[in-house]
Structure 1
C-alpha cells in the first residue's frame, strides 16, 4: 500500500510534468504570460543585480535546482515557478537581468525583489530593492518595449489574458512594523491603521496596473509569520507554539485584502478579475496537519543557526538538512520547494476556501 504522503507528492510531480509536456507538445499554455511581482518568496534573481545584502545567489540556496544558486530563496523552485508549471508557462526571467529583453519578455517577466514591501521604506536596511511602486514602474518599462514589438490589438490581448501574481506584505511586518528599533511605524500606527495604510497603497498600485491593461490578478495574503523559524527563535512563544501576537496582527491586512478584492470585482474595474489567495489558511493547514503532506519537521529551518535554526538564516556554504522534502521551512523566513508545491497546487486548483472568488485555473480559463 502506498503511503498518502508519497502518493500525494507523486500526483503533484506527475501533474507538473504533464503541464510542462502539454505546453511543449501542444504549443499551448493556459495563459499567454505570467507577470510576477512581490518579495523574496517569489524573487527569482532580481536581487542578484542589486546592491543588496538580501541575496540568495550562493550555495546552499538552489541545492536542488537544476541551475544551482539562482537568486531564489529556497532549495529549488519558488511558489510562482511551480504555479507557472501548472499553467504551462515557463518561469519568466528577472527584470534586472540585462538579457531580459526582446522575445524573452513575451512570456512575462519577474519583478519580485527580496526585502521589497508595499511601503517604500520597508526593508531599506537591506540596501537596494524593488518596492511595490518601483516594480510597477519596472513593468511600465517592459510595457514600453512590448509596444514596439506587438500591434495594439495583440498587446491588448496579451495583457488582458495574462496572469499577474503579486506576493506582498510580509516585509512590511517582518522588516518594518516588527522592528521598532529601526522603524517608527509600530509607534505611529495601531495594527488596524497600519493594515489600512498598506491596503490603501496596494490599491493605488493595483489601479495603476489595471489602467495600463492588465486584467487577471492573483493576490495571495500573508502567511502565518508568527510560525516562521525567525519568529520562533526571537519571539516570546512557548515551545511548540507559534507567536500568536504576530499572527493575530495579520488578520486586519488579510481580511482587508479579501474585502478589497470583492470591491474591485464589484463593477468598479470592468473587464478585470481579482482573486484573493488564502495563504494563511493553506499554510496553517500544512502546519496543523504536516503528515498529510509528507512533512515531519515544521518548527525549524533546514538551513540556519541557533534556536529553531532561525536566529541566523542560511549562510554561504552552510550544510543544510538532507531530508529537505520533509521540512516545511528552508531557512529562517522561506518555505522549501516541497511547501511551495503545496501552496501552488492549492492556488491553482483549490476550493473557494483557498481562493476567492475562484482559483487560478478558473481565472486562466476566462477570456477577457
Structure 2
C-alpha cells in the first residue's frame, strides 16, 4: 500500500514539474517583437476593415501552406526569416486570436501595412494600427504575459527580447509624395520634412525604450524611387525616380545619426541601424549578380513594370518568384528578403551600425 502511495505521489510531483516547465519560458529562446509597416506585417490587417491587406491569392503562393497569410510577400517576410535563422517559431500577428497562452512567450508582431511615423500617413487605408497604437498594444501584451509568468519574468522576457522596427517609407510614398501638392509637401520642404520625421521617430523609439526594449533593430527606408510602383508612375526609361531617391538619401543618414545620439544618451547600444537602402540597392543595381532576371518588373501585377495597382488573382504572375527581386509593386520577393536578412545577420559596418545581429546574439549569450 505504502509503495503505491509513494508512486502516485511521485507521479503527481512529476506531473506538476511538467506543467510548470510547460508554463515557464524557454531560457535558451528569446522573445521577438516586430513593429512597423507592410514590409514586416504578418497579418494584423486581416483583422481590420482596411484596403491595405494581402489576404487573397496569389499572396502566400510560396508560404509553407501555399495560402495567403496577410504577409505582403509570395512567402516569408523579413521577421519570419529572422525567426527561422534564430531557430524560433515565427511571431504571430498580435490580433490573431491564436496568440494566447504559451504562444505569447514567443513574442508578437504589432506591424500594420500602411502606417508611418506620422499619424496622417496612410489615412487613405482607413483602419490601420498607427504606431502609437502598436506601442499601446505592446503595453497590453506585457499585462497579458504578467498574468502568465508574473511581472518580474515578464520584464526579463521584454528586456532580453529582440525587437525589429520598420517605418518611414510610407511617410514619403503614402503621404508627402502621394499626390502632387500634398498637405505635407505644402507645409514642408523636403529637408524640413525629413528633419520633422526624424524628430517624431525619436519620440517613438524613446517610448519603445521606456516600455523595456533593449535590443532594437531599426531599418532605414529602401531605395523608394526604384520600386516597380514608382517606376510605373514616374519613370520613362526604367530609371529610379529622382525625388524619392533624394528623400531616402536625406532620411537614412539622419536616422543613423539620431540612433547614435540616443545610444550615447542612454549609454548603451540599444538601437542598431540596418542600412536597408544599401542592402536593397545591391541587388536592384545588379540583379544578375544575385541570380535575379530583373529588379524592375514585379512578379505579380499589371501595367508598366507590373507596377500599377494591387497584386490580385487576375494579375500577371511570374512562374518562378526566385528570379524576381520584387514580388509586387512595392514589396521584395521572399528570396530578396533572404538576402536582406543575411546582411542583417552577418553584414559589415557598411550594412549594420554599430554591429550585426550575429554579434548581438554572441554578446547577449555571454551575459
Normalised by the length of structure 2, the TM-score is 0.89
Counterpart CA distance in 1 for 2:291 and 2:224 is: 21
Counterpart CA distance in 2 for 1:157 and 1:298 is: 43
Counterpart CA distance in 1 for 2:176 and 2:105 is: 37
| Aligned residue among 349, 358, 364 for 2:361 | 364
**Relative to structure 2, which stretch is displaced further, 300-309 or 269-278?**
269-278
Q: Is the 8 A contact 1:180 1:187 kept in 2?
A: no
Query: Deviations 1:311-344 (Å, cap 9, x if unpaired)?
Result: 2221235341002100000111111001001011
> Within 5 A, what are the aligned runs for 1:61-76?
61-67=59-65, 68-76=67-75
Counterpart CA distance in 1 for 2:188 and 2:49 is: 30
Counterpart CA distance in 2 for 1:366 and 1:148 is: 30
Aligned length: 340
Counterpart CA distance in 1 for 2:78 and 2:28 is: 17
Give the match for residue 140 of structure 1: 139
Q: Are 2:115 and 1:119 equivalent residues in the alignment?
A: no
Secondary structure at the aligned position of 2:218 is classed as: strand
Q: Are 2:127 and 1:128 equivalent residues in the alignment?
A: yes
> Within 5 A, what are the aligned runs for 1:173-188?
173-180=172-179, 183-188=182-187
List structure 1 segments (4+ residues) > 3 angstroms apart after TM superposition. 27-31, 180-183, 316-319
Counterpart CA distance in 1 for 2:189 and 2:220 is: 20
Query: Deviations 1:78-129 (Å, cap 9, x if unpaired)?
Result: 0111111112222111011122222111111001111011111111101111
Q: Are 2:336 and 1:339 equivalent residues in the alignment?
A: yes
Give the match for residue 22 of structure 2: none
Counterpart CA distance in 1 for 2:37 and 2:339 is: 19
Secondary structure at the aligned position of 2:108 is classed as: coil
Q: Is the 8 A contact 1:273 1:363 kept in 2?
A: no
**Relative to structure 2, which stretch is displaced further, 308-317 or 186-195?**
308-317
Q: Are 2:255 and 1:250 equivalent residues in the alignment?
A: no
Change (3 A) 1:28 1:349: farther
> Within 5 A, what are the aligned runs for 1:224-263?
224-235=223-234, 237-263=235-261
Counterpart CA distance in 2 for 1:135 and 1:348 is: 25
RMSD in angstroms over aligned alpha carbons? 1.7
| Aligned residue among 44, 47, 50 for 1:46 | 44
Secondary structure at the aligned position of 1:203 is classed as: helix
Asked which structure has the greater CA Rg, the reply is 2
Give the match for residue 171 of structure 1: 170
Change (3 A) 1:271 1:155: farther
Normalised by the length of structure 1, the TM-score is 0.88
